[in-house]
Amino acid sequence: MPIVQLVLVDDVTSKRILICITSDGLANSAAQEAFDLALAGASFEQDISILFDGAGSRLLLPGQNAKFLGRKELQKALKAFPLYGISKLYITQKDERRFDLDINSLSQECSALNDEELSALYAGHDIVMRF
């Protein structure tokens, strides 16, 4: 089912853009293309935040070898985020429990949000895109 998102945008020069990644980066190219968009947005000085949601939170697990599955290694792109000014990375506390993630040993520093904080995250952005 297609997910349709309609959002109000106010600022004409810089938008607050939330990119939700729900794919783990191994099953398809969605995460890779989300990363491409994030880096492009940051290059155009947009305010980029990334929510690693559901299976997408596993992108942050260190020690992965995507090339083994014929996929581009996304860990390098993750490490490039700070160079592009992308520092607002999030997972949910639900996924933290569900996938037994240790927030302190993920490959990038991120915040784990509860349901209330997650709602505020969505509300605080002009544009939300899901991959």
Q: Which tokens go with 27?
A: 């099953």
Kindly state whether residue 117 participates in binding another protein, applying the rule CB under 8 A.
Answer: no
Kindly state whether residue 18 participates in binding another protein, applying the rule CB under 8 A.
Answer: no
Out of 1, 102, 104, 123, point to the residue binding another protein (CB under 8 A). Answer: 1
CA atoms of 92 and 100, how far apart (whole Å)? 12
Q: Which is nearer to another protein, 4 or 83 (CB)?
A: 4
Q: Output phi, psi for 20, to 5 deg.
A: -100, 120
DSSP 64: -
Kindly state whether residue 8 participates in binding another protein, applying the rule CB under 8 A.
Answer: yes
Kindly state whether residue 36 participates in binding another protein, applying the rule CB under 8 A.
Answer: yes
Per the DSSP assignment, residues forming a β-bridge with 112 are 91
Q: Is 106 helix (H, G, I), strand (E, B) or coil?
A: coil
Q: Which tokens go with 90?
A: 């999030």
In the complex, minimum distance from the CB of residue 32 to another protein, in angstroms, rounded to a whole number: 9
Kindly state whether residue 40 participates in binding another protein, applying the rule CB under 8 A.
Answer: yes
Q: Which is nearer to another protein, 16 or 58 (CB)?
A: 16
Kindly state whether residue 46 participates in binding another protein, applying the rule CB under 8 A.
Answer: yes
- Residue 56 falls in which region: left (phi positive, over 0), alpha (psi -120 to 50) or beta: alpha
CA atoms of 121 and 78, how far apart (whole Å)? 20
Kindly state whether residue 17 participates in binding another protein, applying the rule CB under 8 A.
Answer: yes
Task: Name the site residues for another protein (rule: CB under 8 A).
Answer: 1-9, 12-15, 17, 29-30, 33, 36-37, 40-41, 43-44, 46, 127, 129-131
